[in-house]
Amino acid sequence: MFRQGYDYPRVEEELKAHTYISHIRRIGEEKIADGDKTHPVRRWVVERTMAWLKGFRAIRTRYFCKAQNYLGMIHLAAH
């Protein structure tokens, strides 16, 4: 069976480890009709945040060789 998107057991484990609520539709699961949605779509929040972070040149081009320094720059930009 071919998997697409985020329908992987590893992703589900990560979500549970960080106590996030999964809104991922499983393979073979029916799509919900537009009027029957149970949760609002929040994808734009992530896309907007990533686009905003790309505005920082040091983050976009990753000048830092060490992952720890790069993560520190992301934390600095996020605050």
Judge if pTM exceeds 0.75: no
pLDDT at residue 64, rounded to an integer: 80
Assign 3-class secondary structure to 18-67. CCCCCCCCCCCCCCCCHHHCCCCCCHHHHHHHHHHHCCCHHHHHCCCCCH
Residue recorded with tokens 């998997």: 3
CB-CB neighbours of 64 under 10 Å = 14
Domain extents for the chain? Answer: 1-36, 42-79
Each residue of 19-73: pLDDT tens digit? 887 777 776 766 666 666 666 667 777 788 888 888 888 777 777 888 898 888 8
